[in-house]
DNA sequence: CTGGATCCCTCAGGATACTG
DNA sequence: CAGTATCCTGAGGGATCCAG
């Protein structure tokens, strides 16, 4: 979508906007992280691992991730039913992104905290 | 913060939770991106570059980024006043993270879109 | 120009209860 | 077990006005 003045629209100002919405919306990172570590998991296992997520939200996020091709859902209509989720290859391809975040976190998070306390103490 | 049952709290399930909140909260990515490209900018220049952000929110985000040490603010109480913002070294250290996102975006975003249309068409 | 102060409003997300 | 249905809150964000 272009503006009449020929300028780029605001979203274009940041080329990673779409992928940020995709990967870093609420709960998606913990879900992908968990599935990446533990492999194929049942619905209730994910729920318990995440701890505080409600079933409604968990289902929402899993559907979104499935639609985006990052997670694969397998449903077995047994009694009791069984639904299993696993990360896809496309999902695993995010590994370098996550690694970069882990590395940055390890190297710079303390400096962020220091900056915060500096800022707070200089203001009161 | 540990729970009485000795289990890890949900946030710990994903070690990059904190950094995600830090870097990928709303508008922070476009702001950092813009400052990284254009260098030192005045308040109104950032505002115009982002296009749709309101002054209230822009100030909120800039303050947050300043507090976290990712952005440096220089205020000159002239008439008219002048406020300039620039990315810090700590802010620039996020470059590898952003690069990883750009690269992933270029390689896999089309596949995400394909997954979405597949998902949508298979349901109606 | 650089914001602070206010009002408002949506809507993502949480709590709770219930079904196949 | 694996969700759906319903209701609800509150916090983020938009709009507007105002001040230094």
Cβ neighbours of B9 in A, within 8 Å:
51
In whole angstroms, what is the distance from residue B83 CA to residue B101 CA? 30
Residue A37: pLDDT above 80?
yes
Q: Report chain A's mean pLDDT, rounded to a whole number.
A: 89
In a domain, A109, yes or no: no
pLDDT at B3: 32
* Mean of pLDDT values over A10-25: 82
In whole angstroms, what is the distance from residue A112 CA to residue A120 CA? 12
In whole angstroms, what is the distance from residue A28 CA to residue A119 CA? 31
pTM for the full model?
0.88
In a domain, A83, yes or no: yes
User: What is the extent of the structural domain holding B28?
Assistant: 17-93
Give the closest-approach CA distance of A9 to chain B in angstroms. 7
Total count of domains within chain B: 1
Distances (CA, A) of B2 to A10, A44, A103, B9: 42, 22, 24, 6
The better pLDDT of the pair A3, A94 is held by A94
pLDDT at A122: 86
* Mean of pLDDT values over A69-78: 96
In a domain, A124, yes or no: no
In a domain, A2, yes or no: no
> What confidence tens digit (pLDDT) does each residue in A78-91 have?
999 999 999 999 99
> What confidence tens digit (pLDDT) does each residue in B23-34 have?
998 899 999 999
* Out of B7, B67, B115, closest to residue A69 by CB: B115
pLDDT at B124: 66
In whole angstroms, what is the distance from residue A52 CA to residue A97 CA? 25
> What confidence tens digit (pLDDT) does each residue in B99-118 have?
999 999 999 999 999 999 99
> What confidence tens digit (pLDDT) does each residue in B4-24 have?
233 334 445 789 999 999 999
In a domain, B85, yes or no: yes
Q: State which residues between 12 and 71 of chain A bring their CB within 7 Å of strand D.
A: 42-45, 55-56, 59, 62
Residue B71 buriedness (CB in 10 A; 0-12 / 13-18 / 19+): buried
pLDDT at A12: 53
Cβ neighbours of A75 in B, within 8 Å:
none
In a domain, A4, yes or no: no
Strand positions, DSSP E, B1-124 = 41-42, 71-76, 82-87
> What confidence tens digit (pLDDT) does each residue in B67-109 have?
999 999 999 988 899 999 999 999 999 999 999 999 999 999 9
In a domain, B1, yes or no: no
The better pLDDT of the pair B59, B52 is held by B59
Q: The CATH number of the domain where B27 resides is what?
A: 1.10.10.10
In a domain, B52, yes or no: yes
> What confidence tens digit (pLDDT) does each residue in A94-106 have?
999 999 999 999 9
Residue B1: pLDDT above 50?
no
pLDDT at A99: 96
């Amino acid at each position: 979508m272009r503006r009449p003045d020929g300028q780029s629209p605001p979203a274009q100002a940041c080329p990673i906007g779409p992928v940020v919405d995709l990967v870093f919306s609420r709960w998606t990172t913990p879900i992908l992280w968990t599935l990446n570590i533990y492999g194929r998991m049942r619905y209730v296992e994910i729920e318990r691992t995440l701890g505080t997520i409600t079933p409604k939200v968990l289902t929402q996020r899993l559907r979104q991730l499935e639609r985006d091709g990052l997670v694969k859902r397998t449903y077995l209509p047994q009694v009791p039913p069984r639904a299993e989720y696993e990360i896809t290859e496309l999902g695993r391809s995010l590994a370098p992104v996550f690694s970069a975040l882990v590395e940055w976190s390890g190297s710079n998070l303390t400096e962020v905290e220091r900056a915060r306390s500096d800022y707070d103490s200089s203001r009161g």
